[in-house]
Amino acid sequence: MIKVENLHKYFDKLEVLKGIDYEIQQSEVVCVIGPSGSGKSTFLRCLNMLEEVTDGAVYIDGVKINDPKTNINEIRAEVGMVFQQFNLFPHMSVLDNITMAPMQIRKLNKKDAEALALELLDKVGLRTKAYSYPQQLSGGQQQRVAIARALAMKPKIMLFDEPTSALDPEMVNEVLDVMKQLAKEGMTMVVVTHEMGFAREMGDRVLFMDGGYIVEEGHPDQVFGNPQNERTKAFLGKVL
């Protein structure tokens, strides 16, 4: 479903990703962990070209997305993304936040788009907030709306960029619960996270990044229970 080959990313002269090779199958939940500045968010953002790829290739469903001939907007419509800072559109109601992209891109009419949005709001437990505005919601509620907004495009893949890092502790679980539900439904997910509990419980695979490399990867039981690499051990020793 996702294939990354020899991915390099520079910010000016700073090399942030130093050759990443990885493959993610359909319905897999891959959790990316690692210290700050290890390149994990950059890696995630290369998967929908929010960051331009300096060298190497990223394939989504067999299509090379960093090819100038590829229409990146069509790819992005199939790849949902959830941000650390939610990034809801403050000038739109919750409902409009969710219906905007399906109406613009999928050409849904207003009625169908709103029916879809309400269905998704049901799923994230926020149907009563349909006519609220983002600034009236708590962080956890905003992030659940952001998930619903991404799901409204019916994506094949969902990318999560530290979705709970900006939340107050008591709101983390309501967001993780929605993500767990998605994982159980078979969504292909790539999750950059500091929630080791979630990675351990829900991850099919865990990927530990440091210094622009994938240092270690494997089943969570193995990465968390019996890490092989010294850097992985040091990192897990600090966070667990």
Partner 1 sequence: MDFLDFFRWDIIWNYREMYLQGILATIILTLSGYVGGVIFGLFLGLGQVSKNKLIYLPCKIYVDIFRGTPMLVQLLLIHLALIPTIFGSSQGWWVSGILGLILNSAAYNAEIFRAGIQSIDKGQMEAARSLGLTNGQAMRKVILPQAFRRMIPPLGNEFIALLKDSSLVTIIAGAEILYVSKVVAGTYQRFWEPYLFAAFLYLVLTYAVTKLIAFIEKRVSIEYNPRKKREGRVE
One of 127, 156, 180, 200 touching partner 1 (CB under 8 A): 127
d(Cα 89, Cα 11) in Å, to the nearest integer? 28
Nearer to partner 1 among residue 100 and residue 196 (C-beta): 100
**Residue 105 in contact with partner 1, rule: CB under 8 A:** yes
229: how many CB neighbours lie within 10 A of its CB? Answer: 13
**Residue 99 in contact with partner 1, rule: CB under 8 A:** no
**Residue 136 in contact with partner 1, rule: CB under 8 A:** yes
**Residue 48 in contact with partner 1, rule: CB under 8 A:** yes
**Residue 118 in contact with partner 1, rule: CB under 8 A:** yes
Question: C-beta of 77: minimal distance to partner 1 in Å?
Answer: 3
> Which of 156, 204, 200, 198 shows the shortest CA–CA distance to 174?
198
Question: C-beta of 187: minimal distance to partner 1 in Å?
Answer: 16
* φ/ψ of residue 122, rounded to 5: -60, -45
Cβ–Cβ < 8 Å for 41, 162? yes
In sequence order, the 6+-apart residues with CB closer than 8 A to the CB of 64 are 57, 58, 70
Q: Which amino acid is at 66?
A: N
Nearer to partner 1 among residue 7 and residue 137 (C-beta): 137
d(Cα 214, Cα 211) in Å, to the nearest integer? 8
**Residue 149 in contact with partner 1, rule: CB under 8 A:** yes
Question: C-beta of 73: minimal distance to partner 1 in Å?
Answer: 5
Hey, what are 224's tokens? 């968390």
**Residue 77 in contact with partner 1, rule: CB under 8 A:** yes
One of 2, 9, 24, 76 touching partner 1 (CB under 8 A): 76
d(Cα 34, Cα 231) in Å, to the nearest integer? 10
Cβ–Cβ < 8 Å for 70, 186? no
Question: C-beta of 204: minimal distance to partner 1 in Å?
Answer: 23
d(Cα 134, Cα 144) in Å, to the nearest integer? 11
**Residue 135 in contact with partner 1, rule: CB under 8 A:** yes
Residues that bind partner 1 (CB under 8 A): 48, 50, 73-74, 76-81, 83, 85, 87-91, 93, 100-101, 104-105, 118, 127-128, 130-133, 135-136, 146, 149-150, 153
